[in-house]
Structure 1
Amino acid sequence: MQPPTSANGASRRASRGDLHCQEHKQPGARPVLDLVAALSTIATDSTLTLWPSCSRTNSPLKSAEKPKANPKQGSPKEEVQYPTKAEQRRNDWIIVKQLFADVWPKDDWRTRGTVLLGFVLLISAKLLNVQVPALYKSVIDSLNVDLASPPTARIIAGSMILRYGFACVGTALSDELLNAVFANVGQRAIRKVARETFERLNLDLKFHLTHQKGGLTRAIDRGTKEIAFLMQAISFRIAPTVLEISLVCGILAYKFGWDFAAITTIALAAFTWFTVRTTSWRTRFRREANQADNKAATVAVDSLINFEAAKIFNNEKYEVAQYDTHLHNYEKPSTKITTSLTFPNSGQNVIFTSALTGAMFLAAQGVVQGTMTIGDLVMVNQLIFQLSLPLNFLGTIHRELWQNLLDTETLGTLVNTNTLTADPPGPNAKPLALAKGGSIKFENESPDRLIFRGLNFEIPAGKRVATVGPSGCGKSTVFRLLFRFYHPSSGIITIKGQDISAIMLQSLRKSIGIVPQDTPLFHSTVLHSIRHGRLTTTDEEVMEVVKKANCYDTKVRERRLMISAGEKQPLVVARVLLKDPEILFFNEATSTLDAHTESEFLKSIHSPLLSPSHGKPRISIFIAHRLRTVVESDLIIVFKDGHVVEQGTHEELLVLDGLYRSMRVQQSSYGGEEAVVSETASEDGVPEEKKVKELEVVEEQMKA
């Protein structure tokens, strides 16, 4: 047993420095997502406000005045830094390159074979398509004969019409087969990105504390839906369109001369330049719409989660007005996206119509001069009209490509976030070895954000240790440091002499169980929620640990609203029993329970949870505000202002003139501690004489 220590001089440990706790600092991520990195990494963008704050509690409100929301008055605009054109272009090309990794995946010959089949169908469709105008010309020229001509001419005309029909059918059939073939590739890519993005959501605690779930889920949903279009556009639309345009220009130049090719080339250049410029101009509208959409989703989810507060304070209409305000903010840029499309569409039509008119004028001159036939004129018309589809599609592809890249921007930031809770690189990561148990030791650490100062203490193996102190002194941060939710920049935390920063994360967390203050349960049966303690367990093993819960078929609904606090705690005990960890944390586990339920809960954990695990002594750590729950601890560590001020047993700390005794006296005077202890004296296993002695000490202190 360690000797009791106090701030007043009783054998106090010497501080060897300061310990601070640092929340993870994420490196700035690229503003546009690297989609392949989407399959492996995640970070926070320092330049884009991707999840801007939608908090409604920070703005000052006049006393006794109900907040009013004016849907027409949008929320104040936030300063948002957008990437430069060069940065945007560079990052977009990164996306394009990485998309090919999904189109042509390594060691996936099934997908590669599907893509090759798609390219065969694609080339077939384009070759057949450019044959259609030539066959149409032949049909017209073959019909330009005297009605009294021999039947052979009619036979030739009929065969040309059949060939024309076969070419049209072949083109359409190849296009439809291409869409069917590519559906497998696109859906497989969506599934891959969505699955691995969801997997990467297992991030640092800071990420989940600083990102609002509504906007996050909306951004992920929007980004994953656009992936298939991006892949199809890049693989089977852009390159084929360029091929078709090249074939048409080549045919015009070869059969009708350079002047037709010049008109077509100039029109293509003007069309492309105009499309790129107008698309870049419309980009900011899409960004504004995406941000407003994320905000609206965040407000909606936040209001649904906190529906009780809205009803308690009769603020349902206010919540609706807040949501409508953000919908109004989304409506404005969304309308601009649609209305601004009028200008590029009109300009593209003017450019194309001018080129068609010029080419038809030259062809008509050729017919008059006798250098061209009526069929040639029709062929020129058909070839240029045939260009209208790929040209319009090219404009649409460029516009949609930019829009989809912007839609996947937030997803890119998410999937590029680097988590600091990953395993150490290389072969250095090792599993946690607890063959014979081991103590936990915190040694002088100094992260950037000051939480602890001179934190040096040891949690002995096989002991029940409690950490107490005023709110905000760092009790819960001890757990988060040990669980590697936070990473200190200096100092070490060891378990049986093993630095936890060099331990495999899964192995470390497998050895730690927690009974939290707010019990997290899933929207399913209790059986499903408890099985998360050990997914490989059988139903019989689960039933063995939930006998006391008596509700394993109860529906837990979203946010556990159908189960009371007293019913939830036994479920968490059952879950931890299944996990069977060597280290146990009780984080304010009884703070929401009444005295009777608390007593029953403490009895339920004494025997099953605190007994040795596989013959190894457990380490149990209690984080508590109610000091009556820690009286049986082997060691009580008292925190204040980020450092340890007292250590010892309950009796040892009571005789000291320190913080623990002061807190004990305050709780006794405010809450009737004596009555509670007396009522549960015969039930919680604490010897009666010890409680009498304790009460006598407390009474003397209160009189003094």
Structure 2
Amino acid sequence: MELVEQSDRSRASRVRERRRSRVLSRYAGRPIRLIWRYVARHKVAHAVVLISVISAVGFALASQYGIRNLIDALPHGRAHPETVAYAFAVLVGLILADNLLWRVAGWVSARAFVRVTGDIRQDMFDYLLGHAPSFFADKQPGVLSSRVSATANAVYVIENTVAWTALPPTLTVIGAIFMVATVSLPMSVALVAISALLTACLFWLARKGTSRHEAFANKAASVDGELVDVIGNMGLVRAFSAVNAELRRFDGHLNAEAEARKNSLLYLEKLRLLHALVTTLLSAGVLGWTVWLWTQGRATTGDVVLVGSLGFAILHGSRDVAVAFVDLTQHVARLAEASQTLLTSYSMPEAPKAMPLIVREATVDFHNVSFAYPGRRTVLNDLTLHIQAGERVGLVGPSGAGKSTVLALLQHFYEAGSGCVRISGQDISQVTLESLQAAMSVVPQDVALFHRSLLDNIRYGCPEASEAEVKRACEDASCMDFIAALPDGLNAIAGDRGTKLSGGQRQRIAIARAILKDSPILLLDEATSALDTASEIAIQAALERLMKNRTVIAIAHRLSTLQSFDRIIVMNRGRVVQEGTPAQLALVPGIYRDTLARHSRRAPAHTLN
């Protein structure tokens, strides 16, 4: 019963994930809608921030009235001190309320805005992992990782800019205009017209600079991508004495980014300069108008102070609003660019009604499968292949014959151009990716390890495994000897992509990882290619234990590793040209026998490369 409930919960979770993935793709290049999606998750907190900011601005404006009342009360203050005291107390109360409400807004926003940032980063990473391998093959890892951070950071900056830079002056301008109307309606109308026109002009000019901001966003992401690319291939850089060349190349990218940033910032400064000149002239005009009203006896001294301060607040507020919107335009452009890259629709979305793969018998079938990588010639031509449950099958053939493509299609890294691939009679395009991956253990030629402990790397496919189970897997994979020699043992860090280990050590870690995962189908892609002869003998014994009662598909250029297999399939140009037992193929003219002959003569070309 418990297993059924867990299965139901897992299925419901997958449905939610698929629905969320489809929804997120709708926000690609739509930054405002994307922001609102995450703000809506924390409605109450954002409502508190909004109400607090509105109230704080209201009390700040009201304090201008408080100042006017205090000034007007001063001439008669000696005769009526209670009037001055009352005006003073009201002013102090307004100032106190203003400051307290800002602190409430700041306290709540410190939690809400950070949560929004975390939600976006999590969802962007979650969506990114759902892309097919072909998506990652076309893009630099650094560019993608920088865009995940850029998306979250842009939203954080936008929320803060709206809350603290754009919203307060906007509310101040609106409130101040109404307050000026109580003294002089014509002045209020003039201020409305001038402020609206100025803000509209600056916002229009700001939008015209969007291309400059987007260019800067692209260049910044490109620099991040170059950094990760070079650092990840530092061994290659050193091997070819290319340090100076990479420095020059990176300097070129930095110069391009600096030029794009300069163009973006200078455009913003031109807008700020324009607004500063206009504001100076208008401030002088408002002050002169107010003084003229006073000379006509149509305004009190307090009115002069009130209208003057409010006029300045309106003009400077319109400047702050315009500058804030200019800054927002830049950040929104970065958010749009980053989301456009990350939220590209999946090229291989999971089938809407995908069901978990149920492996009763681990059979593998390729039925009339043809496939070509984008922009390249056909790799597989009408391939039909049946592998029985528990059968050990070796794939051999020259480079480009389609061997690795067979394993890639079996793992559903790509969609077959025609035909279908089945496991245990089920079309793998109609099953959940999680269940498909759980059915297979892979020992690749180029072993990938995380910059984590060996313990974490080995139990990556079986995180619930105990340390004792990990050690048994290491012993079966003949890697416990070198692990025990490390100062930290299983807690030793593997390094970036396993750089602290030799090639042979990495492959033995990968074999231990596959042993621990214990899946019914085992894929071996040159699993012993990086081992010396002594290690290979030890690993062969481990592989024999691992392959027992499993369906095995192995790619091997060392034919010695396939001698115990049930069947050898020889591929050439995407087709099966020979198949049979190792003993049978050794007697039949063809690629297999020719390779055996070269190997026996110890010729340099003793592999099927």
Cα 1:37–1:95 shift into 2, 3 Å? farther
The alpha-carbon deviation at position 481 of structure 1 amounts to 0.4
User: 2:605 and 2:537 mapped to 1: Cα distance?
Assistant: 13
Equivalent residues in 2 for 1:319-468 (5 A)? 319-426=246-353, 429-435=354-360, 437-447=361-371, 449=373, 450-468=378-396
Aligned to 1:569: 507
Query: Any conservation in 2 of the 1:420–1:487 contact (CA below 8 Å)?
Result: no
User: 1:405 and 1:91 mapped to 2: Cα distance?
Assistant: 13
SS of alignment partner, residue 524 of structure 2: strand
State the Cα deviation string for residues 649-677 of structure 1 (Å, max 9, x = none).
11211222222222322343344899x9x
The alpha-carbon deviation at position 236 of structure 1 amounts to 7.1
Query: Any conservation in 2 of the 1:267–1:351 contact (CA below 8 Å)?
Result: no
Counterpart AA for 2:50: F
User: 2:219 and 2:348 mapped to 1: Cα distance?
Assistant: 32
Does 1:287 find its partner at 2:225?
no
State the Cα deviation string for residues 163-201 of structure 1 (Å, max 9, x = none).
223322322321232122111111001111111212222
Aligned to 1:261: 188
2:444 equivalent among 516, 523, 527: 516
Query: Any conservation in 1 of the 2:282–2:315 contact (CA below 8 Å)?
Result: no
Cα 1:120–1:281 shift into 2, 3 Å? closer
Query: Any conservation in 1 of the 2:439–2:519 contact (CA below 8 Å)?
Result: yes
Counterpart AA for 1:191: G
User: 1:424 and 1:38 mapped to 2: Cα distance?
Assistant: 12
Q: TM-score, with normalisation over the residues of structure 2? A: 0.88
Report which stretch shifted further, 469-478 or 414-423.
414-423
The alpha-carbon deviation at position 388 of structure 1 amounts to 4.2
User: 2:241 and 2:31 mapped to 1: Cα distance?
Assistant: 48
Aligned to 1:129: 60
Aligned to 1:655: 587
Aligned to 2:541: 603
State the Cα deviation string for residues 348-386 of structure 1 (Å, max 9, x = none).
122323332222222222111111112111111111222
Query: Any conservation in 1 of the 2:24–2:343 contact (CA below 8 Å)?
Result: yes
Query: Any conservation in 2 of the 1:523–1:559 contact (CA below 8 Å)?
Result: yes
The alpha-carbon deviation at position 340 of structure 1 amounts to 2.6
1:138 equivalent among 54, 60, 69: 69
CA RMSD, 1 decimal: 2.5
User: 1:338 and 1:37 mapped to 2: Cα distance?
Assistant: 37
Aligned to 1:219: 147
Does 1:581 find its partner at 2:509?
no
Cα 1:263–1:41 shift into 2, 3 Å? closer
Does 1:104 find its partner at 2:40?
yes
User: 2:43 and 2:298 mapped to 1: Cα distance?
Assistant: 49
Query: Any conservation in 1 of the 2:362–2:521 contact (CA below 8 Å)?
Result: no
The alpha-carbon deviation at position 471 of structure 1 amounts to 0.3
Aligned length: 574
Aligned to 1:309: 236
SS of alignment partner, residue 493 of structure 1: strand
2:428 equivalent among 500, 506, 518: 500
Query: Any conservation in 1 of the 2:567–2:580 contact (CA below 8 Å)?
Result: yes
State the Cα deviation string for residues 326-358 of structure 1 (Å, max 9, x = none).
111111121223333332112112232333222
Cα 1:39–1:102 shift into 2, 3 Å? farther
Query: Any conservation in 2 of the 1:134–1:379 contact (CA below 8 Å)?
Result: yes
Aligned to 2:496: 558
Aligned to 1:22: none
Aligned to 2:12: none
Cα 1:628–1:672 shift into 2, 3 Å? farther
Aligned to 1:27: none
Counterpart AA for 1:661: R
SS of alignment partner, residue 407 of structure 2: helix
User: 1:473 and 1:38 mapped to 2: Cα distance?
Assistant: 36
Greater RCO, CA 8 A, separation 6+: 1
User: 1:520 and 1:375 mapped to 2: Cα distance?
Assistant: 75
Equivalent residues in 2 for 1:572-651 (5 A)? 572-607=510-545, 609-612=546-549, 618-651=550-583
The alpha-carbon deviation at position 421 of structure 1 amounts to 4.1
Give the helix-richer structure, 1 or 2: 2
Cα 1:338–1:120 shift into 2, 3 Å? closer
Query: Any conservation in 2 of the 1:432–1:498 contact (CA below 8 Å)?
Result: yes
SS of alignment partner, residue 452 of structure 2: coil
State the Cα deviation string for residues 183-232 of structure 1 (Å, max 9, x = none).
11110011111112122222211111111012222222222112123234
User: 1:653 and 1:544 mapped to 2: Cα distance?
Assistant: 37
Counterpart AA for 1:500: I
Counterpart AA for 1:96: I
Equivalent residues in 2 for 1:32-51 (5 A)? 41=24
SS of alignment partner, residue 600 of structure 1: helix
Query: Any conservation in 1 of the 2:474–2:509 contact (CA below 8 Å)?
Result: yes
User: 1:446 and 1:622 mapped to 2: Cα distance?
Assistant: 20
User: 2:79 and 2:499 mapped to 1: Cα distance?
Assistant: 87
User: 2:261 and 2:405 mapped to 1: Cα distance?
Assistant: 44
Cα 1:321–1:498 shift into 2, 3 Å? same
SS of alignment partner, residue 408 of structure 1: helix
Aligned to 1:686: none
Query: Any conservation in 1 of the 2:214–2:337 contact (CA below 8 Å)?
Result: no
User: 1:237 and 1:175 mapped to 2: Cα distance?
Assistant: 13
Cα 1:319–1:305 shift into 2, 3 Å? same
Cα 1:150–1:522 shift into 2, 3 Å? closer
SS of alignment partner, residue 423 of structure 1: coil
Query: Any conservation in 2 of the 1:40–1:200 contact (CA below 8 Å)?
Result: no
Query: Any conservation in 2 of the 1:214–1:299 contact (CA below 8 Å)?
Result: yes
* Identical aligned residues as a percent: 24
Counterpart AA for 2:118: R
User: 1:41 and 1:511 mapped to 2: Cα distance?
Assistant: 29
Query: Any conservation in 2 of the 1:39–1:196 contact (CA below 8 Å)?
Result: no
